Structure 1
Amino acid sequence: MGRRPRATEGLDTELAELPPELRWREWMGRVEAVIFASAEPVMRETLARLVGRDCSVDLLIDDIREELRDRPYELVSVAGGWQHRTRQRFAEAIRSVTAVEQPGRLLSQADLLVLAIVAYHQPITRGEISKITGKEVSRDTIAHLRSLGVVASGPRSPQPGAPYTLVTTKTFLSQFGFETLRDLPNIEALEDAGLLSKHMLFDADIPIASDERNEPVDQDAHDR
């Protein structure tokens, strides 16, 4: 059995003086307030520090979700934690009056293709991505994905020169609404939907940097 996270210093988490119903409501309020105030998904360990020793965070979340059922926002499970998100049916209304961009709108088709390859084959080197696409992937493309926080450096590859690999991040999971990488749609489903295909892999307009046209492509991909 895992060790329970230490309670937040100075915060009465047990609330023993309150009757059970009021205690539960207070715990719900704390959990929802912390999630609402955070720009990133809040992990279970953090929420467990706000409530009593015998309190079930999962049951609290279920009750909060039930109360939000008729609201324009909801509590979603992403990137291993919980986050408030506006409901999808209000996305068009929000975009019509704000400058907020959805993550996919900041990515070109080529960016999305490279990101999909990283997501499904990580850890993977830039050279290995180039082998899959049949075209040399520009450092600028990788730099753009890094700047958005959706990919990061993984472990070094055992290939000659030990290049760093690329992996997706918690930001990737959060931005695309995945709880874990297990939530990625299977490749067959993407092909059936026309979102990923051999045609895309070989014909996508992937930028090629002028100083990289003759750079050798890494060999021996080691897909998971």
Structure 2
Amino acid sequence: MSATPQPRRSTKKIPQDGVLYDRELEDLPPELRWREWMLRVEAVIFASAEPVMRETLARVVGRDCSIDLLIDDLREELRDRPYELVSVAGGWQHRTRSRFGETIRASTAPTRGGAAALSEFEAMVLMAVGYFQPVTRGELSKIFGKEVSRDVIGALRNAGFLASGPRSPTPGAPYTYVTTKHFLSAFGMETLRDLPDIEALEDAGLLSRNEMAAALFAEASDYAHDDVA
């Protein structure tokens, strides 16, 4: 007597709630499928407090969906709205258009995200790290001609703008500091290449590349002297 055939086990992974998430939407006609993918992507970006990466969006659309074309269509759809989709920190985020900034400030309504309130000196230190990272606290102090305290660095770290970089090769191997993705997001930049032109800042007297180079040269000379000794 032949054995009773056993049912084949499904190779699909069933989520804990027992429902498969339908990314492909193959039962919909192409236009409605594209529209649903647009809505999904916009919903994810709208709900996120941070820029949403490409790999995150890929989880909610079909395998053959072009995320770049989808974003282009969303941007076109939002063209006449007071907010837009912008590329920041390697992902996408909803941002209010700059021309409505004064209106929002006048309303005094609480806002989400954005840059933390910084003192003028903290902002200058953050800008210096942005341009010259990885940089140590000692090197920053030489740039500004006065000590950059641990409290200043701590405030920028607590705001999510700075993180520890590699150890410096100088004596004592102090920590260096680098900017974070949150820094890019908060100031609306895609990459560090979007920082303002350093020559313009020099012309305005806000930053001296020569002073920074001299400080780094002095630091390197001190290290070489100690190494020889």
Q: TM over 0.5: same fold?
A: yes
Number of aligned pairs?
195
- For 1:114, the equivalent position in structure 2 comes to 125
What SS does structure 1 have at the residue aligned with 2:177? strand
Q: How large is the RMSD of aligned CA atoms in angstroms? A: 2.2
Structure showing greater radius of gyration is 2
Give, in whole Å, the separation in 2 of the partners of 1:189 and 1:65: 31
Q: Does 1:94 align with 2:75?
A: no
Equivalent residue runs for 1:12-91 within 5 Å? 12-91=22-101
Give, in whole Å, the separation in 2 of the partners of 1:195 and 1:167: 23
- For 2:148, the equivalent position in structure 1 comes to 137
C-alpha distance after superposition, 1:10-39 (max 9, x if no partner): 321111111110000000000000000101
Give, in whole Å, the separation in 2 of the partners of 1:127 and 1:160: 12
Percentage of matched positions with identical amino acids: 70
C-alpha distance after superposition, 1:91-123 (max 9, x if no partner): 11111222449627x112211111111000101
Give, in whole Å, the separation in 2 of the partners of 1:195 and 1:13: 54
Give me the TM-score of the superposition, normalised by structure 1: 0.81
Deviation of 1:178 after TM superposition, in Å, equals 0.3
- For 1:219, the equivalent position in structure 2 comes to 219
Give, in whole Å, the separation in 2 of the partners of 1:122 and 1:92: 33
Give, in whole Å, the separation in 2 of the partners of 1:55 and 1:100: 33
Alpha-carbon distance change, 108 to 40 in structure 1, aligned in 2, over 3 angstroms: same
Give the letter aligned to residue 136 of structure 1.
E
Worse overlay, 46-55 or 56-65 = 46-55
What SS does structure 1 have at the residue aligned with 2:33? helix
Give me the TM-score of the superposition, normalised by structure 2: 0.79
Gaps of 5+ in 2: 1-13, 213-217, 222-229
Deviation of 1:195 after TM superposition, in Å, equals 6.4
Worse overlay, 29-38 or 129-138 = 129-138
2:115 to 103, 116, 124: 103
Deviation of 1:161 after TM superposition, in Å, equals 1.5
What SS does structure 1 have at the residue aligned with 2:219? coil
Give the letter aligned to residue 28 of structure 2.
L
Give the letter aligned to residue 22 of structure 1.
L
Gaps of 5+ in 1: 1-7, 203-217
- For 1:180, the equivalent position in structure 2 comes to 191
Give, in whole Å, the separation in 2 of the partners of 1:163 and 1:151: 15
Q: Does 1:123 align with 2:119?
A: no
Q: Does structure 2 conserve the Cα–Cα contact (< 8 Å) formed by 1:187 and 1:196?
A: no
C-alpha distance after superposition, 1:145-187 (max 9, x if no partner): 1111111111111122211110000110001000111111220
More contact order relative to length (CA 8 Å, sep ≥ 6) = 1
